[in-house]
Chains A and B, each alone.
Chain A
């Protein structure tokens, strides 16, 4: 029971981590809280579903496509809408992306209706037995892929030129500009990358959960908590926090009862905000442009 609780927590945490990374980075680099992030996850799930239902391609195989589609969407939203707000009031981005969220959900309702869709593969609901522990195959694969994606993204930020431009802009926009970096382009790139990661999370979610236009709402609360817990803008922080969050929920559910899962999460969130707003691994320069 204890072992299973740990396995449950870690595996769920991996998915939460990948759902949070894009959100955390967008917030860290640009100061934008993307309320439509949950809808991006939902769209990722629908892209995977369409490819699966239409062409029979497994969501793991269509992952690059899903991420590419979401990258374009994130990039365009930033270029056409959010970049114009960067000069006025950043806090308005919260309201604007909320509006965008409503639009995306309603559009999906019109296109896909409220029917629950699912991706059912041969290995859905199968598990590996490791002694007394049961490890569901899909969850394990999602967990491993999520860690690999997070690692890859970390390398991209720290090694690739474009990634360095993002970091430089996050550090100091003006200096970055002097060095010939166009902040607005970097912002669009960042938003695109964030959306692509949301798309990956959606692709994973499509194999675990029923797909519906409202499914993003079940993620957005956890994404907030993990982002703040890990430190805004920190990739490694989000991964660590995602796993920790999964474990805490899993233990809260088994020790206090399942209905305490959420309240424990929110109280934890408030306490961290007040006591350590920079999060576990947050760095000084990230986040809040006061």
Chain B
């Protein structure tokens, strides 16, 4: 199996490069890489619920914001970072499990916009609750004593770890009974029921998994940015970016979201620097082009270029 070997050793090499990166680069470029990893996890979280289960959770950023606020509040109250970052996915998963029970009964568009409304409601809830969350005035977290380089490296490795873990989870999912159940569900809910799959449990688990991933990076992000505002923690743009990355890379694949994140974040960083006045315009056109021309994702088209052993159908 030389191809398989080549693929794994390629991945190992890429991973080794990423681990070694902080030795060579610092500051800004490390920050860019860190946000690429972050988006890769957001995209991977969407991949689980959209790519596998077929539920278009457009407002998945709600778990990102939730994770950020869990870490923000916990750290402000004096909890150690490690505990806070463990609490973030737990809280996000619980929320997804509880909310998923009613919301996942909705289908298609209905579910998509219900998640958007959920995100807006959570945003408003934080604003109205105030108190320890800081409400509309935002939550400034303690600065901590880490030197900037050390903090950057810490966040870098946390995000890298989250990205690798989420890819491994998706790899596992793609081969597990849950993964098969979700794919069956995506093709036909009725068919899945007939096959004896507990569809409610399967899709709730999928959303919880998705929420856990998103909540983890949301939490790390919260610690990283050091100042939380509802508007930036629950920014729907984060979901949308993740969604497009997933589409670009290819939904339902293991590495697609990661590739999409690298591609889109690099492109948008370049756009940002070069075309200040029109970066939204270019981003919008890019979205339209991707949807029109390659709805199956880059990976799909890339694969078609690479000769495969498999006989053509």
User: A contacts B directly in the complex (CB < 8 Å)?
Assistant: yes
Cβ of B124 and Cβ of A92 under 8 Å apart?
no
16 A-B contacts (beta carbon < 8 Å): A31-B109, A92-B295, A94-B109, A95-B287, A99-B283, A99-B288, A102-B281, A105-B280, A106-B278, A221-B120, A228-B110, A263-B125, A263-B128, A266-B120, A267-B121, A274-B103
B residues within 8 A CB of A154? none
Cβ of B110 and Cβ of A288 under 8 Å apart?
yes
Q: Which residue of A lies closest to B291 (CB)?
A: A96
In the complex the two chains form, what is the Cα distance from A190 to B240 in whole Å?
27
Given that A96-B287, A101-B284 are contacting pairs, would A27 and B109 also be in contact in the complex, using a CB cutoff of 8 Å? yes
In the complex the two chains form, what is the Cα distance from A95 to B108 in whole Å?
14
Cβ of A277 and Cβ of B280 under 8 Å apart?
no
B105 close to A (CB within 8 Å)? yes
A84 to chain B, nearest CB (A): 7
B246 to chain A, nearest CB (A): 10
A262 close to B (CB within 8 Å)? yes
A residues within 8 A CB of B109? 27, 31, 33, 91, 94, 287-288
B274 to chain A, nearest CB (A): 15
A residues within 8 A CB of B102? 274
Cβ of A95 and Cβ of B117 under 8 Å apart?
no
A53 close to B (CB within 8 Å)? no
B247 close to A (CB within 8 Å)? yes
B residues within 8 A CB of A101? 284
In the complex the two chains form, what is the Cα distance from A110 to B114 in whole Å?
33
A97 to chain B, nearest CB (A): 9
**For chain A, what secondary structure do more than half of its interface residues adopt (helix, strand, loop), or is it mixed?**
helix
B243 to chain A, nearest CB (A): 6
B244 close to A (CB within 8 Å)? yes
A260 close to B (CB within 8 Å)? yes
B127 close to A (CB within 8 Å)? yes
Count residues on chain A whose CB falls below 8 Å from chain B CBs. 43
B286 close to A (CB within 8 Å)? yes
B residues within 8 A CB of A68? none
Cβ of B105 and Cβ of A84 under 8 Å apart?
no
A219 close to B (CB within 8 Å)? no
Cβ of A277 and Cβ of B291 under 8 Å apart?
no
B residues within 8 A CB of A259? 127-128
B residues within 8 A CB of A81? 288, 292
Cβ of B108 and Cβ of A102 under 8 Å apart?
no
Chain A positions 19-47 with a Cβ under 8 Å from a chain B Cβ: 27, 31, 33
B285 close to A (CB within 8 Å)? yes
**Supplied contacts A224-B116, A225-B117, A266-B124, 8 more A-B pairs, CB within 8 Å:** A33-B112, A81-B292, A92-B247, A92-B295, A94-B56, A105-B280, A107-B281, A270-B103
Contact with B along A82-126 (1 / 0, CB 8 A): 001100111110111011111101110110000000000000000
Given that A95-B243, A273-B110, A288-B108 are contacting pairs, would A85 and B285 also be in contact in the complex, using a CB cutoff of 8 Å? no
B107 close to A (CB within 8 Å)? yes
Cβ of B110 and Cβ of A262 under 8 Å apart?
no
Cβ of B295 and Cβ of A102 under 8 Å apart?
no
Contact with A along B269-304 (1 / 0, CB 8 A): 000000001111101111110011001000000000
A residues within 8 A CB of B125? 263
In the complex the two chains form, what is the Cα distance from A201 to B284 in whole Å?
24
Cβ of A106 and Cβ of B284 under 8 Å apart?
yes
Contact with B along A266-290 (1 / 0, CB 8 A): 1101100110010000000001101
| Among A228, A259, A260, A266: residue with most chain B CB under 10 A | A266
Chain B positions 96-141 with a Cβ under 8 Å from a chain A Cβ: 102-103, 105-110, 112-114, 116-118, 120-121, 124-125, 127-128
Contact with B along A196-224 (1 / 0, CB 8 A): 00000000000000000000000001001
Cβ of B280 and Cβ of A273 under 8 Å apart?
no
